[in-house]
Amino acid sequence: MRMPEALRPLWRWVRSLPWQRFGAGVVAGIGALLLTFLLRLFGIGVFLPELAVDFAVGRVPGEVESWFIRTLGEGAKALAVFVAIAVFLGLYGIAATFFRRFERWVPHRWGVIALYTFAHGLIALLVVLPLLGGGFLGASTYQGVGAAVFSQLAGGWIYAAILDYLLVDVRAKFPQGFNPTRRQFLKWTVIGSIAAVLILYGLGSVSRRIQRLAFPSVAAMVAKEVTPNSEFYVVTKNVIDPVVDASSWRLAVDGLVQAPRAYTYADLLARAATQEYVTLECVSNEVGGDLISTARWTGIPLRDLLDDSIVELNADWVLFTCADGYTVAIPLAKARDPATLLAVRMNGEPLAGAHGFPARIVVPGLYGMFHAKWITRITPVQGEAKGFWQQKGWTNVGRVRATAIIATPGTDSVVRGLVQIGGVAFAGDRGISRVEVSTDGGATWAPAVLRVPPLSGLTWVLWTYDWTPPRDGSFRIRARAVDGNNAAQEPTPASPFPNGAAGYDAITLLVST
């Protein structure tokens, strides 16, 4: 098949581009990104794609972001990282196309390596980091100026060294280079396109929600009424969460207070005597989803810390600032609720890094985005303050919506004989007064049995319902709850954005004798 005459000039132009240098730049860029990623993991470097994702996420409208989360789950973050890395590799490839020109300008081979090394560092530190919110020389990053400068110069040197090897040493061994035919070019274009589609599909199929809250049996559900720390749900805005050094960490109480204070980790451990069971649920949780867990938290009532600093009379909100730059605020009245804690332990153990070590806020009754992790500052302010997610359109009220979840048997299970249906119901700090189950798709309802007393008035309530199917076939099982204030669960389905999901949970059971 011959190429149309109209496309021949375009094809000649495409073939004339410096693809070998571009490809060498991409390979060298992989080395640079890999090194800076490893340095970032050890807390001594800045990984530019991570900042790019944070920058983009901070500017994507909440409604768009919610759609990606509902569609891809955690795959949405993986997709963002994939795109960011691809963009940076493209930039590395473009930079490499100027290699021959720099060779002519700079007579010594080591001079070209030095030029690429310092050009990489200066562009990253003086242009890219400020544009992505990392500050001049990385001053606004958690790792600081020293780590930013070191990692970007090291990454630049790796990039320059690999580029030099590919375009000087390898070129000397293979002077003819790689000159693809049209057929080869089209073949690899098709293969690359298919690979990209498969990667995107894989991100979706592996991570797509909803992942349901599920237990193999009612007995297993009862055994995990308190969620093991290793199974407690984790949601974070970060590509890589901060690693906080407890020995140097300080918690500041400042703002509209008469006596600003700073606490060490040891100070807080010495005062942490209050324990309470609290269930946390992410505002992004779909109806029936698994982003909900329960733990026994140990800490200090937040009002005690506020009283120690003597809050000014004109303060009416409290803003929390965290080590990863996250911010969120709650009304002062909620901050002074005796149940609101600064927590340092979870189920008797120090907080894990993923759960906010060394200290986090626990605010019963509000969705998880208000339970600030890795907290560094508590700041009473005047007037409503909007945090990271609230500035993107998510609720700043955050009151947990009542919901009942069917957690066992699993949806589409084949059952026979007496079936024990079980689940959890949760309404924040309002408690649960009743759960009802329908086995005919919502036509009729019957009361479930609540497990009483619950762990506390701030946790989920376990419920069970014994059912004998009247016949073989498919049955649609639904559940609904009534909170402790006698307010019924909202029946109308609603997506998580912006106020949390609503609607009745439902599963299908297949009865076979």
CATH number of the domain residue 351 falls in = 3.90.420.10
At residue 206, does pLDDT exceed 70?
no
Percent residues over pLDDT 70 in the chain: 85
Overall average pLDDT of the 491-500 stretch: 92
Instruction: Based on the fold, state whether residues 271 and 356 are members of the same structural domain.
Output: yes
Q: What is the pLDDT of residue 177?
A: 52
Instruction: Based on the fold, state whether residues 479 and 367 are members of the same structural domain.
Output: no
How do residues 19-50 score in pLDDT, each as one tens digit? Answer: 778 888 888 888 889 888 888 877 788 888 88
Q: What is the pLDDT of residue 207?
A: 44
Number of domains in the chain: 3
Q: Kindly state the helix (H) or strand (E) to which residue 62 belongs, with its residue range.
A: helix 62-72
Q: What is the pLDDT of residue 62?
A: 67
Q: Are 410 and 220 in contact (CB under 8 A)?
A: no
Query: Is the pLDDT higher at 319 or at 21?
Result: 319
- Helix H, strand E, coil C: the string for 194-217 is HHHHHHHHHHHHHHCCCCECCCCC
| Other CB atoms within 10 Å distance of the CB of residue 181 | 9
Q: What is the pLDDT of residue 102?
A: 82
Instruction: Read off the CATH number of the domain in which 492 is found.
Output: 2.60.40.650
Of 392, 420, 439, which closes a domain?
A: 392
Overall average pLDDT of the 385-396 stretch: 92
Percent residues over pLDDT 90 in the chain: 54
Q: Are 156 and 32 in contact (CB under 8 A)?
A: yes
Q: pTM of the full predicted structure?
A: 0.76
Overall average pLDDT of the 121-150 stretch: 85
Q: Are 319 and 329 in contact (CB under 8 A)?
A: yes
Overall average pLDDT of the 135-144 stretch: 80
Q: For residue 221, tell me if it sits in a domain.
A: no
Q: What is the pLDDT of residue 38?
A: 87
Q: Can you give the residue range of the structural domain that contains 231?
A: 227-392
| Token couple for 103 | 């060779």
Q: What is the pLDDT of residue 180?
A: 47
- How are beta strands 505-511 and 473-483 bridged, if at all? antiparallel
Instruction: Based on the fold, state whether residues 324 and 350 are members of the same structural domain.
Output: yes
Place 242 in a pLDDT band, splitting at 50, 70 and 90: confident
Overall average pLDDT of the 152-172 stretch: 84
Query: Is the pLDDT higher at 197 or at 328?
Result: 328
Using alpha carbons, select from 296, 281, 311 the residue that is nearest to residue 378.
Answer: 311
Place 360 in a pLDDT band, splitting at 50, 70 and 90: very high
Q: Are 359 and 343 in contact (CB under 8 A)?
A: yes
Instruction: Based on the fold, state whether residues 131 and 196 are members of the same structural domain.
Output: yes
Helices 109-123, 75-96: axis angle to 10 degrees equals: 140
Instruction: Based on the fold, state whether residues 23 and 142 are members of the same structural domain.
Output: yes
Overall average pLDDT of the 139-158 stretch: 85
Q: For residue 218, tell me if it sits in a domain.
A: no
Query: Is the pLDDT higher at 65 or at 280?
Result: 280
What are the backbone angles phi and psi of residue 466, rounded to the nearest 5°?
-90, 130
Q: Kindly state the helix (H) or strand (E) to which residue 35 belongs, with its residue range.
A: helix 19-41
Instruction: Based on the fold, state whether residues 284 and 303 are members of the same structural domain.
Output: yes
Say how far apart CA 149 and CA 145 lie, in whole Å. Answer: 6
Instruction: Based on the fold, state whether residues 363 and 442 are members of the same structural domain.
Output: no
At residue 236, does pLDDT exceed 60?
yes
Instruction: Based on the fold, state whether residues 367 and 459 are members of the same structural domain.
Output: no
Q: What is the pLDDT of residue 239?
A: 79
Q: Residue type at 108? A: H
Say how far apart CA 448 and CA 480 lie, in whole Å. Answer: 10
Of 206, 236, 260, which closes a domain?
A: 206
| Mean pLDDT for all residues in the chain | 86
Say how far apart CA 9 and CA 408 lie, in whole Å. Answer: 64
Say how far apart CA 324 and CA 134 lie, in whole Å. Answer: 12
Say how far apart CA 265 and CA 250 lie, in whole Å. Answer: 7
Listed in sequence order, the residues at least 6 apart from 478 whose beta carbon sits closer than 8 Å to its beta carbon are 437, 438, 441, 442, 504, 505, 506
Q: What is the pLDDT of residue 203?
A: 44
Instruction: Based on the fold, state whether residues 419 and 377 are members of the same structural domain.
Output: no
Greatest mean pLDDT among 119-123, 135-139, 478-482: 478-482
Q: Kindly state the helix (H) or strand (E) to which residue 122 belongs, with its residue range.
A: helix 109-123
At residue 329, does pLDDT exceed 70?
yes
Is omega for the bond preceding 453 within 30 degrees of 0, making it cis? Answer: yes
| Token couple for 148 | 């930013």
At residue 63, does pLDDT exceed 70?
no
| Token couple for 398 | 């955050």
At residue 94, does pLDDT exceed 70?
yes
Q: For residue 2, tell me if it sits in a domain.
A: no
Q: What is the pLDDT of residue 9?
A: 58
Q: Strand, coil or helix: what is 441? A: coil
Overall average pLDDT of the 313-326 stretch: 95
Query: Is the pLDDT higher at 81 or at 91?
Result: 91
Instruction: Based on the fold, state whether residues 423 and 384 are members of the same structural domain.
Output: no
Q: For residue 50, tell me if it sits in a domain.
A: yes
Overall average pLDDT of the 277-285 stretch: 96
At residue 316, does pLDDT exceed 70?
yes
Instruction: Based on the fold, state whether residues 378 and 413 are members of the same structural domain.
Output: no
Least confident of 28-42, 205-219, 478-492: 205-219
Q: For residue 1, tell me if it sits in a domain.
A: no
Of 206, 240, 262, which closes a domain?
A: 206
Q: Residue type at 413? A: S
Q: For residue 149, tell me if it sits in a domain.
A: yes
Say how far apart CA 207 and CA 211 lie, in whole Å. Answer: 9
Q: For residue 353, tell me if it sits in a domain.
A: yes
Q: For residue 7, tell me if it sits in a domain.
A: no
Instruction: Based on the fold, state whether residues 382 and 467 are members of the same structural domain.
Output: no
